Amino acid sequence: MPRFKLQLNRPYGQVSVEAENIEEIIASIKKLIELSGAVERSLGLGTPSSQQTAALPRKARPRRGRSEAVLALETIETRLLGTGFFHTPRSTSEVRQKIHELTGLKLQSRKVSQALGILFDAGKIMRVGRRGGYRWFEK
């Protein structure tokens, strides 16, 4: 039987309730909000505004930065190296497209390039061409 979960994100963490059906969740909303307010007051964070408690969850923005380079690095190491993909020199955009095909994630080109640079420094791949136009291949 499916379980339902309602979760409130708060500055101090998350408060949630689980139930067997939607009616139980609806009946628990008021108590969950009261509990959240009590925790905030005990932590000295003040009371939540009615706008915060009534707001719908926002769609998370795609993460940028170091995590994308790490994700690209892991994908290249685990799913591309040793498969023959790098037998011919590949551009960063070709590697980026292949990562998109394998994982469904559209990573920034500079992050894929950063991951390729890390693999080059580690001696796992080679590169040909000039800066800004490197093509990468496996040793």
> What is the domain partition of the chain in residue ranges?
4-54, 66-138
Q: What is the pLDDT of residue 123?
A: 93
Q: What is the pLDDT of residue 76?
A: 94
**b/e per residue 9-46 (b: at least 16 CB within 10 A):** ebeeeebebeeeeeeebeebeeebbeebbeebeeeeee
* 66-138: CATH, from 2.40.50.140, 2.40.110.10, 1.10.10.10, 3.60.15.10: 1.10.10.10
Q: What is the pLDDT of residue 59?
A: 66
Q: How far apart are CA 90 and CA 31, in angstroms?
A: 57
Q: What is the pLDDT of residue 21?
A: 78
pTM of the predicted model as reported, rounded to 2 decimal places: 0.52
Ranges of the chain whose pLDDT falls below 70: 1-2, 46-66
Q: What is the pLDDT of residue 58?
A: 62
How many Cα atoms occupy the beta-carbon half-sphere of 102 within 13 Å?
18
